[in-house]
Amino acid sequence: MPNLKDLKNRIASVKSTRKITKAMQMVAAAKLRRAQDAAEASRPYTERFNAVMAGLAASVGGSDSAPKLLSGTGSDQVQLLIVMTAERGLCGGFNGNIAKLAKIHAQKLLAAGKTVKVFTVGKKGRDAIKRDLASHFIGHVDMTDVKRVGYANAQGIAKDVLGRFDAGEFDVATIFFSRFENVVTQHPTAQQIIPAKFKMADDAEATLYDYEPGEEEILADLLPRGVATAMFSALLENAASEQGARMSAMDNATRNAGDMIDKLTIEYNRSRQAVITNELIEIISGAEAL
Amino acid sequence: MANLQFDLVSPERRLASVEASQVQIPGADGDMTAMADHAPTITTLRPGVLRVVHGGGTDEYIVSGGFAEITATGVSVLAEQALPRSEFTQEVYSRMLAAAREAHGQAKEVFKNEHGPVDDAAKLLADMVAIGGHIGLTAND
């Protein structure tokens, strides 16, 4: 049986762990609200944008002169996986799940004889990818200094990726991120962004628009923005998911610490009682011996 | 006179959603004013001043590009970057101008033998300089 002092120290240490996890949970809760607000604020733009793009893509997409960002390069040999994760850990399975999805995807592509290149956003994803797919790793964007994800960040990443596309480094790009559903559920998601795919809304009214300048010019202008927009909403979803995952992970940790403290306290009280009983027995038997 | 619904959204937030009588849009091919029952049009924007006339007066926004969707009943402007005129200070302007200059400089270096991208960047820069003239800020070199 561990002695009393050890037990006391352990209880103290678990208590301070609980304090930390509790604090982290509350911080995550506050950040989650902000991240959710940001995600919500970006939604009108994204929805409108996709609706317009879907209309444009439907009318221009079929022609031979459609931009490469929409119609593809005609091959799907070189695949770029853009893995977007958090900069920090301690958020449950959040980073792991995204990395796992990307790895499974990469293995499938490799088995099919494709060339795989991996680009990471966020330190945790890079660490996970470097372990298994180091030879496919081509670039990384560091977001450590970014406190609040802005559209400029997404533009920066998009510019990098588009530069590589123009240089012919890959044919198909897919982003991996976690879609935020609620605090306990986040879905790791893969979304193809190059060539772009736009879903027609079901209730899309078939308005015939005049395009100024021409449809193709507008499309050529908007497609790179579409990449940035997709990145931006992925970053925002990720930010919300990260905080949600951290919140529930820290909630669990706090509860576990509480359980552990209870158990240790019972053990502590028992051993204390045992020590007292022992002492009493010694005194009584000493007195009887006289 | 019939009104139209005006929405201005940027990726980061919704800036305005009001009922307006007319909206002046800095289109890529020239300015245009949209009023109710305008033919459905989609146009890209150049950096410029967006003017919204509504019951309570006239609002002005500085947009840096994006596109506008005009229908008979509404105008939605999806701007890449947009600021109310009052928040558009010399400091912000200088920063945007510097970014445009840098992009122009880069385009000149990267695309030495292609005119397209360089001209685009030059146009962007010229548009940015023109904004300053419109709203009384200096494009100090």
Please say whether the beta carbons of A235 and A193 come within 8 A: no
Q: Over the stretch B65-106, which tens digit does the pLDDT of each residue have? A: 888 989 888 899 998 888 888 888 777 788 888 888 887 777
Q: How confident is the model at residue B141 (pLDDT cuts 50, 70, 90)?
A: low
Which helix (DSSP H) or strand (DSSP E) does residue A140 occupy? strand A137-141
Cβ-Cβ contacts under 8 Å for A23 (sequence gap 6 or more): none
Q: Over the stretch A261-271, which tens digit does the pLDDT of each residue have? A: 999 999 999 99
Q: Which of A201-215, B9-23, B39-53, B82-96 has the weakest average pLDDT?
A: A201-215
Which helix (DSSP H) or strand (DSSP E) does residue A21 occupy? helix A4-60
Q: How confident is the model at residue A205 (pLDDT cuts 50, 70, 90)?
A: low
| CATH code of the domain in which A116 resides | 3.40.1380.10
Cβ pair B10:A45 closer than 8 A:
yes
Number of compact structural domains in chain A? 1
Assigned domain for A256 exists:
no
| Residue A99: both structure tokens together | 């990395």
Please say whether the beta carbons of A161 and A82 come within 8 A: yes
3-state SS assignment for residue A107: helix
Q: Using CA atoms, how far apart are residues A268 and A216, in angstroms rounded to an integer?
A: 76
Assigned domain for A6 exists:
no
pLDDT of residue A57: 77
Name residue, tokens 């298994």. Answer: A132
Cβ pair B41:A211 closer than 8 A:
yes
Please tell me chain A's helix, strand, coil percentages from 3-state DSSP, rounded to the nearest 5. 65, 15, 25
| Residue B48: both structure tokens together | 């410029």
Q: Using CA atoms, how far apart are residues B118 and B79, in angstroms rounded to an integer?
A: 23
Size of interface A-B (CB pairs under 8 A): 72
Name residue, tokens 């959603």. Answer: B17
Domain boundaries, chain B: 4-85, 89-135
**Beta pairing partners, A141:** A121
Q: Using CA atoms, how far apart are residues A87 and A106, in angstroms rounded to an integer?
A: 22
Assigned domain for A107 exists:
yes
> Taking the CB of residue A179, how many other CB atoms lie within 10 A of it?
16
- If you measure CA to CA, which chain A residue comes closest to B16? A44
Q: How confident is the model at residue A13 (pLDDT cuts 50, 70, 90)?
A: very high
Query: Which of A45, A210, A217 has the CB atom closest to B78's CB atom?
Result: A45
Assigned domain for A53 exists:
yes
Of residues B15 and B91, more confidence is placed in: B15
Q: Which residue out of A209, A232, A236 would a mutagenesis test of the B interface target, given it has the greatest number of B Cβ atoms within 10 Å?
A: A209
Q: Which residues of A touch B68 (CB under 8 A)?
A: none
Range of the domain at A169: 43-246
Cβ pair B27:A212 closer than 8 A:
yes
Q: What is the largest CA-CA distance in chain B?
A: 53
Which helix (DSSP H) or strand (DSSP E) does residue B127 occupy? helix B115-135
**β B74-79/B66-70 pair status:** antiparallel
pLDDT of residue A285: 95
Please say whether the beta carbons of A75 and A67 come within 8 A: no
pLDDT of residue B103: 78
| Residue A209: both structure tokens together | 């628009």
Q: Which residue out of A45, A47, A151 would a mutagenesis test of the B interface target, given it has the greatest number of B Cβ atoms within 10 Å?
A: A45
Which helix (DSSP H) or strand (DSSP E) does residue A255 occupy? helix A215-289
Please say whether the beta carbons of B29 and B41 come within 8 A: no
Name residue, tokens 């510097």. Answer: B98
Q: Using CA atoms, how far apart are residues A109 and A104, in angstroms rounded to an integer?
A: 9
Looking at domain B4-85, which CATH architecture does it have?
Answer: Sandwich (2.60)
Q: Using CA atoms, how far apart are residues A120 and A140, in angstroms rounded to an integer?
A: 5
Q: Which residues of B touch A44 (CB under 8 A)?
A: 7, 9, 14
Q: What is the pTM of this model?
A: 0.83
Q: Using CA atoms, how far apart are residues A204 and B40, in angstroms rounded to an integer?
A: 15
